Copies of this chain bind each other. A is one copy, B any other.
Amino acid sequence: MSDSRPVALDAMGGDHAPHEIVAGAVHAVRERGLPVVLVGSPRVLFEALADHGATQEVPIVRAEEALAMNEGALASLRRPRSSIAVACHLVRRGDACAVVSAGSTAGVVATGRLRLKAQQHVLRPAIAVRLPTLPRPTLLVDAGANADAKPEMLVQFAHLGAAYAELAHGATEPKIGLLTIGSEPEKGNKLTKRANELLQSSPGLHFAGNIEGHDLLTGKVDVITTDGFTGNVALKTMEGAVRYAFAELRTAVEESRLAKLGAALQRNRLRELRNRLDAEAYGGAVLLGLNGTVVIAHGSSRAPAISAACQLAADMSANGIVTRIGDRIATSHRSHRLW
């Protein structure tokens, strides 16, 4: 499933960079057999690799600078030699198959757009996040790249997600839902009402209609299309609510002596469940629509999440996500000629 080119891993981005990133790289190389190059400060990275006895296993590519976690889009323009910019450059030159970064989302999106450029006819690259539905994940697109979107973009986000669902989840005719505030087509805000009309007349998309916030975790559709503002609010609300429910549960259990027994019995199952619902375990969000695969790991990622993100990036690249999106967008562009 992977070619011989390595994943370019931004070693300087993330709350636990560089040590957890380096540990994730070592894990990916040793446990998954994935080639990885670390991009960042050679001195720091060499030392971190030495702690794992892995200086011979993971190559380092030099980048003098790094984007701080609180730096956004503008900073990325001023830092052509940041670790994320250099990682994108490796993909652009064909020296790496994909980029993984746990850096600031705004910084990664802006750098990716600047260095890799959007694919032809793609209005805006967008972030796809897998929601932990069963039997297969639902993709939320856009989860935060575009705070202000136009209706035409929501149609493209549906195509980006459909390509992902086909390649990664084996969906044959991925069902598309539009996130809004009422199931009837005329419900919603101006953006979603117009997007509903466009989606209804879009060839190549299996539009299942409007969905609401309740439906994010019901597995009703394969792809949920939304603007990046709404998508990001919904994603973080979902994460917060799940965390809250588990915290309340823990309190309820701890307050009762008898219940402690029950809690002990359930502990393993609960941890497993919480892990599935936990954003870190998703393995990362994918920035779709660029000339190259970019996976954005959660800022708080530790080694296992970084390793999972490298796997996701390598798989997406090997499956030809960029080509698949290119085909979809080109077909849609020819049939519409509106945009």
Contacts and interface: CB of A to CB of B under 8 A. Distances in A.
Interface of A: 70, 72, 106, 144, 147-148, 179-182, 184, 186-190, 192, 212-218, 227-230, 232-246, 248-249, 252-253, 255-256, 258-259, 261-266, 269-270, 272-273, 277
B262 A256 contact: no
Contact of A217 (B192, B217, B240, B258): B240
B241 A238 contact: yes
A213 B236 contact: yes
Contact of A262 (B106, B215, B259): B259
B248 A273 contact: yes
Given A239-B214, A273-B249, A229 B265 contact: no
Contacts of A188: 147, 229
A192 B230 CA distance: 12
B212 A236 contact: yes
A190 B228 CA distance: 12
Contacts of A237: 213-214, 216, 234, 237-238, 241
Contacts of A235: 213
Contacts of A261: 261-262, 265
Q: Which 4 A-B pairs give the minimum distances between C-beta atoms?
A: A262-B262, A213-B236, A213-B237, A241-B241
A213 to B, nearest CB: 3
Contacts of A216: 237, 240-241
Contacts of A270: 249, 252
B255 A239 contact: no
A184 B71 CA distance: 11
A214 B234 contact: no
Binding site secondary structure of chain A? helix
11 contacts: A72-B187, A181-B229, A181-B233, A213-B239, A216-B240, A234-B234, A241-B242, A242-B245, A248-B273, A248-B277, A252-B266
A331 to B, nearest CB: 30
Contacts of A179: 233
Given A181-B229, A214-B236, A232-B213, A266 B262 contact: yes
Nearest to A240: B214
A22 B93 CA distance: 72
Contacts of A72: 184, 186-187
Contacts of A232: 181, 213
A269 B241 contact: no
A184 to B, nearest CB: 7
Contacts of A147: 181, 188-190
A262 B218 CA distance: 27
Contacts of A215: 240
A259 B269 contact: yes
A235 B230 CA distance: 12
A259 to B, nearest CB: 5
Nearest to A184: B70
Contacts of A242: 241-242, 244-245
Given A181-B147, A213-B232, A246-B245, A265 B258 contact: yes
A272 B70 CA distance: 40
Given A188-B147, A212-B236, A266 B241 contact: no
